[in-house]
Amino acid sequence: MRDYELVVVFKPTFTEAELKEKLEQVKNFITSNGGKIYNIIDWGRRELAYPIQKFNTAYYYIINYRTDNNQLPPKLEYHLRINEDIIRFLNFRVKTKSEKSINK
């Protein structure tokens, strides 16, 4: 199993209900493709460092997941890239403690 961290930045124009629905879509994509979500952090609405698509604020979420499916991260990135509701994302692999000790 490999651990990944996904940071998703949603447009600030959504209501709370719409935002939960959009987040649920991302979560469903991960779980339906063999991923297991073990942590979600809601950073809330934050000021952007620079305007993106004429927005100065956005909603941030951090999703930690693990998977055996090595095709999930590229599929997820493609899915997020074509989703117009997401203005930025960052998906990267997180090394576990056991992997860090092996690499020393």
pLDDT tens digits, one per residue of 46-102: 999 999 999 999 999 999 999 999 999 999 999 999 999 999 999 999 987 666 656
pTM to 2 decimal places: 0.88
DSSP alpha helix (H) spans, 4-103 = 16-32, 72-82, 97-102
Q: What span, in angstroms and rounded, lies between the C-alpha atoms of 89 and 5?
A: 10
What is the reported pLDDT for 21? Answer: 96
| pLDDT digits 0-9 by tens, 34-47 | 999 999 999 999 99
CATH architecture assignment, domain 2-99? 2-Layer Sandwich (3.30)
Task: Note whether 16 and 85 are within 8 A (CB).
Answer: no
Query: What are the boundaries of each domain within the chain?
Result: 2-99
> What is residue 100's predicted lDDT score, i.e. its pLDDT?
62
pLDDT at 41: 96
